[in-house]
Structure 1
Amino acid sequence: MKLPLLLSLVVLTQSLGRIPLKRAKSLRSRLQEVGLLEKFPRKFPSNVGSKYFKSPVKVITDPLENYLDIEFFGSISIGSPPQKFLVLFDTGSSYLWVPSVNCSSEACVIHTRFNPQQSSTYRAINQPVSIYYGTGSMAGFLANETVHVGSIQVHNQTIGLSESEPGSFFYYAPFDGILGLAFPSIAAPTATPVFDNIMNHRLVSVALFSFCLSLEKRKSFVTFGGIDYSCFFGKLHWIPLSSKTYWQISIDSITVKGQVIACPRGCQAVIDTGTSLLAGPLGSIIAIHDHIGVSEDSNGEYVVNCRTKNNLPDIVFVINGIKFPVSAKAYILQMRQGYCRSGLEGTFIPASSGDLWILGEIFLCQYYSVFDRANNQVGLAHAA
């Protein structure tokens, strides 16, 4: 089950893989230009990376671009010679897939499609695959190929090649496919995720990756194999995973002005780079909006006068005893002049031990994030 996509640094010289991110025209802007916006679906500290490798580390230098103003994607290549694709680096799923030349869906036709006949390293598996996301889906087949993530080459990587991408979401998405960075447990046994193969082949010195995301003019990066200390200030707080499926953690409570307003007995959250907004149980989202004075308009959107944004309080996520505030500057989004809406979205996704929250790019642009596979933990620190 993929979580909703819409709701979804060379540091330590010679030891990091680095991908710079840059801004691109947002999906919302593209939809506004063609008059389809209203029709679009809403909806190294001592305990880090104890698994060290001795082999040389590749440095990743592919550019990533901004999606929907707060989503980031970047380039990889597949095959020999390499065929280039833009992919969403997604901690909320585990498959790598791109469109196939066999796909005739409108979403495929306007994106780059992989041609197996042009690659000498292509190996057919002919195993079908279907992946369902909150705002779209794909169906196709699995194959083995060489994948290039910057200067790193991953041989015999299982990839998905779509033959069908129904609906409108992927049609308007500015990326071609998705590179999942979650755990193997939510992928087919035959489809080992890319980062697992990177670890298994010892292509990084530390079994972790990290995201430095920014909406400002400074560049953003995803780094494989290290931590960029220039991307954050203060202490890097380590949070143990509560599930090795998605990057799932436990939340103590959610407060506004010191008052617990949601998650009073604890709840679960997924740190998801494939989700744009902050998503949570509908009842909790309504309670937060009521508490901060954001009202619902006739279209069902929670809107606010942009001039009042600076007066709205922080929403504070208390995680592992540490407070992680998210300011109104982050969770109130300006859509057009004088018109702002909330970046909080209600969902109906329960977790086994409580309601599930999705901490997407609104949260991750506030906090540098480290995904540590060696120790099964997430590190969070205030973004610089």
Structure 2
Amino acid sequence: VSSEQMTNDADLAYFGVISIGTPPQSFTVIFDTGSSNLWIPSIYCSSAACANHNKFNPGLSSTFKNAGKSLSIQYGTGSMTGFEGFDTVVVGGIPVKNQIFGLSQSEAPFMAHMKADGILGLAYPRLAASQATPVFDNMMTQHLVNQDMFSGCVRNGTLILIMVTFGGVDPNHYYGQIAWIPLSSQMYWQITVDSVTVNGQIVACNGGCQAIVDTGTSNIVGPQADISSMASANVVNCNSINNMPAMVFHIHGQAFTLPSTYYGCRTGLQSSNSDLWILGDIFIRQYYSIFSRAQNMVGLALAR
């Protein structure tokens, strides 16, 4: 079991430090349960986004091998392109040998504003671009973790404390019982939400909907009609935030409450054209989250 301390980027993303190569070159990456590839900027990248980030130099690593394959990954806000290589990747003190990863040659403009250098995807292999084996899958097959799960929290009282633990759970970071939710699909960390209520009334997801638990997205994202309904039931009054009603997500027979704490006086709600909901950091920061590959379940417990 190994834990990695994370850094908070304006409540929008959470990232930690990894190293790649021999001798190690260090990078900050977003630990993203909504994607499956690991990639970092390379010295061959000329995009503006690479100018203000650390860049990997494969010529300085004695263990680097070129995979001979190109890579292109599309995210919700842009894309990266480059090529793939193999090297030793150290995550939270765990050395993962012969890990495939992407070396960017071009990056979308929005990535210039990211504090993190790259992204480490923690979703299932089915989601991986170019059929790359995700880092956690190699951790499992190389028997580097005690249990085939990882977990994390992004909140500690009024302080921000971000921690991801590979190979187990840390009981110091949650209260009470863990609610285990079976996955409805094994590509994203996808679950079934039964409904969303405000003041006991269903305001969204009537009859059930599909949602992914995604550490790489800051907001709660859903279909436009549902998000509009939630927003009208929960209009933000910046002068009386504490008096606003809570949103309750009903999942697998349990109620998960989001209190009326709106960061920077924002709802944290965002509409999309997809029927697939995204439970991003606004949701996750309330709960210690456990991602079990052994049971194909997500566990949620109140964050300490």
TM-score by length of 2: 0.97
Question: Do residues 222 (structure 1) and 207 (structure 2) align?
Answer: no
Asked if the contact 2:34–2:215 (Cα under 8 Å) also holds between the matched residues in 1, the reply is: yes
Q: How does 1:158-197 map to 2 (within 5 A)?
A: 158-167=100-109, 169-188=110-129, 190-197=131-138
**Aligned match for 1:213, one of 131, 154, 178:** 154
Residues 217 and 156 of structure 1, relative CA distance in 2, 3 Å threshold: same
Match of 2:203 in 1: 261
Matches within 5 A, 1:73-88: 73-88=15-30
Q: Note the 1:146-157 alignment, pairs <5 A.
A: 146-157=88-99
Q: C-alpha separation between the residues in 2 aligned to 1:342 and 1:158? A: 38
Is the counterpart of residue 119 in structure 1 residue 61 in structure 2?
yes
2:42/2:55 contact within 8 Å kept: yes
1:4 corresponding residue in structure 2: none
The offset of 1:231, in angstroms, is 1.0
1:186 deviates by 1.0
Distance 1:208 1:150 in 2: 14
2: distance between equivalents of 1:188 and 1:369?
25
Describe the SS at the equivalent of 1:235. Answer: coil
Give the stretch that moved more between structures: 282-291 or 67-76: 67-76
- Structure 2 equivalent of residue 44 of structure 1: none
Task: Quote the offset at 1:125 in angstroms.
Answer: 1.2
Equivalents in 1 of 2:276, 2:108: separation in Å? 27
Within the candidate set 294, 297, 302, 1:374 is matched to 294
- Report the secondary structure of 1:203's partner residue: coil
Output the CA distance in 2 between the equivalents of 1:368 and 1:267.
Answer: 22
What does residue range 76-115 of structure 1 map to in structure 2 within 5 Å? 76-115=18-57
Provide the rounded CA distance (Å) in 1 between the counterparts of 2:94 and 2:245: 44
User: In the aligned structure 2, how far is the partner of 1:80 from the partner of 1:305?
Assistant: 54
Contact 2:28 2:117 in 1 (8 A): yes
- TM-fit CA distance, 1:150: 2.6
Preserved contact between residue 71 and residue 130 of structure 2 (Cα < 8 Å): no
Partner of 1:33: none
Amino acid at match of 1:365: R
Aligned CA RMSD, in angstroms, stands at: 1.2
- Give distance in 1, aligned partners of 2:93 and 2:193: 37
Residue identity in the other structure for 2:2: G
- Report the equivalent of 1:306: 238
Q: How far has the Cα of 1:328 moved from its partner?
A: 1.3
Mind listing any 5+ residue stretches in structure 2 that lack a counterpart? none
Runs of 5+ consecutive residues of structure 1 not aligned to the other structure: 1-15, 21-63, 295-303, 335-339, 350-354
Take 1:218 and 1:139, find their aligned partners in 2: how far apart are those partners?
33
After TM superposition, give the deviation of residue 70 of structure 1 in Å.
Answer: 4.3
Matched, 1:19 2:10: no
SS at match of 1:306: coil
Superposition deviation, residue 235 in structure 1: 1.0
Q: Does 1:252 align with 2:194?
A: yes
Contact kept in structure 2, 1:90 and 1:273, CA below 8 Å: yes
**In the comparison of the two structures, how many residue pairs are matched?**
303
Describe the superposition over 1:246-297 as per-residue Cα deviations: whole angstroms up to 9, x where unpaired.
Answer: 00000011111111111111000000000111111111111111122x2xxx
Query: Deviations for 1:193-227, whole angstroms, at most 9, x for unmatched residues?
Result: 00000000000110000011116326321000111
